[in-house]
Amino acid sequence: MKNNIKYLCELIRDKLKFRNIINSLDNKFKENSDYDNSSKNTLRIKGLNGSLKSFLLAEFWKSTDLNFIILTNSSEEADNRFYDLMTLIDNDNLIKMFGKKFDTIANPQNYLNNSLVFDSALKWMSINRLNNDKKNTKKSNFITIAQPNILKAKFPSIDIITGYHKVIKKGDFLIQDEFIKDLALNGFERVDFVSQQGEFSVRGGIVDFFPMGWDNPLRIEFYGDEIETIREFNTISQRSIHFYDIVEFNSKYISQSEIEKNNWLSFSEYFDTNTVLVLINPDEINSIYDQLDLPDKFFKIEINPFANSDYEFKSFEQPKFGEKIRNFALELKRLSLFDCDIFIAADSPNGMDRLKEIIYDELDVNDISDISFDESYNELKPFKTILKTSDSLDDSNRTKEKIHWIVDSLAEGFLIENPEIALFTEHQILNRKRIIDRKSTKTKYRGLSLTELRGLKKGDFIVHTDKGIGIFDGFEKVKVGNGLMDAVKILYAEGDILYVNLNYLSKVQKYRAQEGVEVKINRLGSSEWQRKKQRAKDKIKQAARELIKLYAERKKQKGFAFSPDSLWQKEFESSFIYEDTPDQSKATKEVKLDMESENPMDRLVCGDVGFGKTEVAIRACFKAVENGKQVAVLVPTTILAQQHYLTFKDRLMNYPINVDVLSRFRTSNEQKKIIEDVKNGKIDILIGTHRILSKDIQFKDLGLLVIDEEHRFGVSAKEKLKALKINVDTLTLTATPIPRTLNLSLMGARDLSIMETAPRNRLPIITEVVEWDDKIIQKAIEFELSRNGQVFFVNDRIGNLDNYLRKLQMLMPKIRFGLAHGQMNSNELERAMEKFLSRKFDVLLSTKIIESGLDIPTVNTIIINAADKFGLAELYQLRGRVGRSNEQAYCYLIVDSFKTLTKNSLKRLQSLEEFTELGSGLHLAMRDMEIRGTGNLLGYEQSGFINDMGIELYHKLLDEAITELKLEEFRDVFKLSFPSKEYLKNPDLVIELEKNGLIPDYYINIESERFYYYKRLYNVQRSDEIESIIKEMIDKYGKLPNETHELLFAIRLRMFANNTGIQKIQLKNGHLILVLPELNNSVFYKNVEPIINDFIENYDSAQILENDSSKKVIFSINSKEEALEILWKLKNMIDIVEQSS
């Protein structure tokens, strides 16, 4: 399958005689050592359509020793050629000089970021240096994809680069202290964790540093002063991703200000004549860049010029099939009659399997020969010969044999006439966005690392399950048994201090609640915390009881069982413009399985902005209508009703499905007609606010109810919904994230589908942090309006919103501005939003009220003023309001002045600048929305309890409440035939060792990191989890110290003793001592003591001792391994006996 791309390359190369073009290039190049501005120094090639351009460019690189700089007329063209070439040639020789930093309004066309030029210069030098390496077997010429602004850039002289050029090898002798000193003297800044170029950090024998010219930082591990390993690592996870025996780098970090002081070389001075300029669509380039001055000294290749050419091919763009697979299947049959080589490139293995199934199903349809082309099909230009007899078109096997499948993402399909070759791409067949695996391209990261985002710092609030909220004050060593162990130090009110040793770490977690909540510190010894906790648990249990009760009632009802997917359903789902995420596929399957069941569906689909919830709902609606049922889509506001109406109409336009909307925007006559049509079954899908719950709305045959953000409806609407839900399939959507832990708690109490993965083929939102500048604001707005779009301008306060409105109106008097904010009454606000939606305003000035709910595809630029005044989660949500269509979206984070920002504030904003893709890493900042999600599910009252105790403890209480309800009140519903083995639980198991078991501060000196690893280790359930953590720690911090090995031994003991009822494990003087529960725990001794008695018969030295309160089991041991083996065998024996009882 993979070799089909190689076969296609060879077929195109040989049949199109690319060798002739290469020879012509060689001859022209050699003949013209002194170039003038005549046609002799230019090779012109016409008729290259789609990705055929990329195949020729790849052949140029493979067949010559020349360097190529490819200039394109747009970022989209550059993107297409770059990712095509990533598929077709060696990535190491491919350099990207376009994209985010070159394509923002704040960086106009004549500006190029010099540090990025420096990076590229280092890569060019590294590739060219291979020329001088006689042992080198790799090609040493490069291809750079760029936009024409590269011609105006300044480039560093070779002296600047070579003066600080360093080569280090594994096994080299290098004095670590001298190396660290050199980094500091050469402009590198020392930090805790490296996240951007020009930074370094030191952890024992490990030095991390991020040199210019590298896409990721390097990690050197020393053994004394010898280099033991050299690794490249990821800035976000801080984990190694590649090992090297030798690396080259520039040991000096040159800041932007230093770069600007130096006189760098022009393009013409920097590159030698072994470099060829390739211009794709040269006439368009010249029309966009008026002052473009191409240096005469370089040979040029023009692809697709208007002028006469040296070579011309007859190729055509991939035709449009109107998203109709039947049109495409007919075309495949037609092409196979001409003995055409047909290639279909799918973007992923899943995409190929799905597309193959749909196409083959359509090819096998008996009457395909009688299907005429749809009007939506743009008829193919080549091969216009009249079709042969219809009999030959019925031979689907012949067609299937002519198809070669490729699992590689290519930008654009094409057809070549004589020789007959056709390449079709999955995304163009289905009229959707191309999927690019951008993970293979590396990006620099300047914001907060995961470590910093998750970190618990001194002074942060912390929750102890039994003692309440206090303040984290670091770690202190305490004696446990005969060894030392770290203990968490917590400060409480009135000067109280609590030390929590690691055996009780499960009782402690970082306090997380809604931003801005005033936190009250508890006092030790007070009963207030326990009362508050019990009151919360009672209320939680009450809310959960209602949920389970509703769930149980619905499971008793019988509903309509929808039929399995039809061919139309499969085709419809495949035509979605984006590739499904794993979560979206899972949610779709879960919804359809619910619909095909005879029990009425009641499923909640939860997902962040832009994660595809609406698409899941539309697919469910499609299924319902295909089964002859009507659908009601209920939304909380008139604006959202209008938005959904437009979305549904657009998505279903190719199918005979009648969609309408009932809202205040409809006249009374229109409303009467809609009501009549719904009653007569003429409307398949009705969208509206709570108006559609009115008595005068009668559906002919309602089969599916879709509810968007149910928590935003009033009490009366919710009561009507309860009655309607009894025997109608119901699908509820919510945009507020519900944490995975809560999902697990509610399993069985509510059918939940959680969508956490972002669409991977969405265009990233170009995000830029800039100081306020009238010109930048004006250009941003004018650029968006020039492509027929609209703009959000968001301010942090209502008070000065009018001032900004006047300022922008004076700056751009011809542009229509509107206002929307929370102090307007609901009718005013709705009217303002409706005007914006109907495009009566170009720019909407508002506060953060647009943070959720709005989805306007025409808005693809958002300007957030005073961005440093917003929380990270708020900024993330606001940015999610744009980038909902195929247009490139822009987000500008405006600050008054960089000088007044703290370094941490700037890093937080840069996190957003770097995390340009939906959902990428920012779940760590989503605590506010998680809390909203929990509150929405269980009732607003719950948010108060969450703020009182933090989200983690709240989830723990919820988990306990649901478990109790399932066992005590709803055992029949969940078919539980046995009680929970509560007597085996031992969350507060104490381990006492003879040696120190801890992570010493000389190994990890950042307390937040130590707390993070302690929490992970004390929560492990399996040995492979321990091994994974060990690898990570060794990778980041070097070899484990003895104290940490002892800690890991304690962790393994804990893991093997988990859920055995054992309360304490001691290692003392060659003995393993297991302390059992108190004697009054009769259930434990009745069920487990017989097992222990049987077990110790296998050990001659084992004995059971009893004192006044409990019993101990004592084993003589010779090693730690023996202690682990005894515990492992005992746990297995208890598990086996208990499971069979």
Band the pLDDT of 581: cuts 50, 70, 90. Answer: confident
240 - beta bridge partners? 233
Q: Is residue 492's pLDDT more than 60?
A: yes
Q: Is 262 helix (H, G, I), strand (E, B) or coil?
A: coil
- Phi, psi for 976 (deg, rounded to 5): -90, 115
Q: How many Cα atoms are found within 13 Å in the side-chain-facing hemisphere of 948? A: 18
Over 80: is that where the pLDDT of 291 sits?
Answer: no
CB 830 within 8 A of CB 898: no
Nearest to 54 by CA among 62, 64, 43: 62
Q: Which amino acid type is present at position 883?
A: G
**Structure-model confidence comparison of residues 939 and 1112, the more confident one:** 1112
d(CA 711, CA 692): 17
| Tokens, residue 286 | 């010249």
**pLDDT value for 386:** 38
Q: How far apart (Å, rounded) are the C-alpha atoms in residues 251 and 256?
A: 16
pLDDT at 706: 94
215 vs 367: which has the higher pLDDT = 215
Token reading at 699? 């559906």
Evaluate if residue 632 carries a pLDDT over 90. yes
Confidence of residue 502 (pLDDT cuts 50, 70, 90): confident
**Which two three-digit tokens encode residue 159?**
């002296």
Residues in Cβ contact with 616 at an 8 Å cutoff, skipping those fewer than 6 apart: 584, 587, 588, 591, 605, 731, 733, 753, 755
Hey, what are 669's tokens?
């006559």
Look up residue 381 and give its DSSP letter: S
Sheet holding 1110-1116, edge to edge: 990-992, 1064-1068, 1071-1078, 1110-1116, 1103-1106
Mean pLDDT over all residues of the chain?
Answer: 81
Q: What is the rounded CA–CA span in Å between residue 616 and residue 611? A: 10
Is the pLDDT at 45 greater than 60? The verdict is yes
**Quick one: how many helices (H) and strands (E) in the chain?**
39, 43
DSSP 8-state symbol, 327: H
Place of tokens 């515990």: 1127
Parallel, antiparallel or unpaired: strands 299-303 and 275-280: parallel
Per-residue model confidence as pLDDT tens digits over 654-695: 889 999 999 877 888 999 999 999 999 999 999 998 888 888
Pair of tokens at residue 907: 């890093």
* Strand 414-416 with 817-820, pairing: unpaired
Measure the CA–CA gap between 993 and 1068, rounded to whole angstroms.
Answer: 7
Instruction: Output the pLDDT for position 58.
Output: 93
Number of Cβ within a 10 Å radius of residue 559: 19
pLDDT at position 958: 81
Lowest mean pLDDT among 584-593, 885-894, 909-918: 909-918
**What separation in angstroms does the CA of 1098 have from each of 1053, 1071, 1129, 1140?**
20, 16, 11, 22
904-936 pLDDT, tens digit each: 677 677 766 665 554 443 443 444 445 555 555
For position 390, what pLDDT does the model report? Answer: 43
Rounded CA separation 167/251 (Å): 10
What 3-state DSSP class applies to 2? coil
Determine the Cα angle at 682 with ends 679 and 684, to 5°.
95
The pLDDT of residue 389 is: 40
The per-residue pLDDT for range 960-975, each reduced to its tens digit, is 888 788 777 877 766 6
Specify the pLDDT at position 175.
Answer: 95
- Name the amino acid, one letter, at 893: L
556 phi/psi in degrees, rounded to 5: -85, -20
Q: What whole-number distance in Å separates Cα of residue 413 and Cα of residue 1101?
A: 77
Task: Give the whole-angstrom CA distance, residue 702 versus residue 700.
Answer: 6
Say what the pLDDT of residue 731 is. 92
Distances (CA, A) of 1097 to 804, 1056, 1079: 83, 20, 22
Q: What's the confidence (pLDDT) of residue 372?
A: 45
**pLDDT-wise least confident of 121-125, 209-213, 1040-1044:** 121-125
Tokens at 152, concatenated: 């105006």
**What SS3 state is found at 528?**
helix
Kindly indicate the confidence band of residue 995, based on its pLDDT and cuts at 50, 70 and 90.
Answer: confident
Most confident of 269-283, 533-547, 612-626: 612-626
What's the sign of the alpha-carbon dihedral 707, 712, 714, 718? positive
3-state secondary structure 811-877: HCCCCCEEEECCCCCHHHHHHHHHHHHCCCCCEEEECHHHHCCCCCCCEEEEEECCHHHCCHHHHHH
Choose among 682, 686, 662: nearest CA to 672.
662
Band of pLDDT at residue 34, cut at 50, 70 and 90: low
Task: Return all residues near 396 (Cβ < 8 A) that are at least 6 apart.
Answer: 333, 360, 363, 364, 368
Q: List CB contacts of 364: < 8 A, sequence separation 6 or more.
A: 396
Share of residues in the chain with pLDDT > 90 (%): 30
Instruction: Give the H or E element holding residue 181.
Output: helix 176-185
Beta bridge partners of 1075: 1064, 1112
Alpha-carbon distance of 324 to 317, in angstroms, equals: 18
User: Which domains occur in the chain, in start order?
Assistant: 17-156+264-312 (3.40.50.300), 160-260 (3.30.2060.10), 315-440 (no CATH), 559-752 (3.40.50.300), 766-916 (3.40.50.300), 982-1140 (3.90.1150.50)
- Going through 1032-1123 in order, the beta strands assigned E by DSSP cover 1064-1068, 1071-1078, 1103-1106, 1110-1116
How many other C-beta atoms are found inside a 10 Å radius of the C-beta of residue 633? 27
Lowest mean pLDDT among 21-35, 388-402, 585-599: 388-402
Per-residue pLDDT reduced to its tens digit, 128-150: 654 555 455 567 788 889 888 78
Q: What are the tens digits of pLDDT across the range 826-837?
A: 678 778 888 888
State how far the Cα of 9 lies from the Cα of 15, in Å rounded to an integer: 10
Residue 143: C-alpha distances to residues 127, 277, 435, 816, 1118 (Å): 10, 10, 23, 45, 65
Q: Which residue in the block uniquely carries the two structure tokens 């086996």? A: 1136
Please check the confidence at residue 480 and state whether its pLDDT lies above 70: yes
CA dist 534 to 537, 539, 957, 965, 1082, Å?
Answer: 5, 9, 9, 16, 26
At residue 1067's C-alpha, the angle toward residues 1062 and 1071, to 5°, is 100
* CA–CA distances in Å: residue 1007 to residues 45, 55, 488, 1010, 1035: 63, 54, 10, 5, 18
Residue 289 clears pLDDT 50, i.e. is over it? yes
Q: Cα(782)–Cα(773) distance, rounded to whole angstroms? A: 14
Q: What does residue 427 show for φ and ψ, rounded to 5 degrees?
A: -65, -30
Please state, for a pLDDT cut of 70, what percent of the chain lies above it. 81
Please tell me the predicted confidence (pLDDT) of residue 270: 81
| Tokens read off for 511 | 């306090």
The verdict on whether omega for the bond into residue 419 sits within 30 degrees of 0, i.e. cis, is yes
125 pairs with which residues across the strands?
none
Q: Which residues pair with 186 in a beta bridge?
A: none
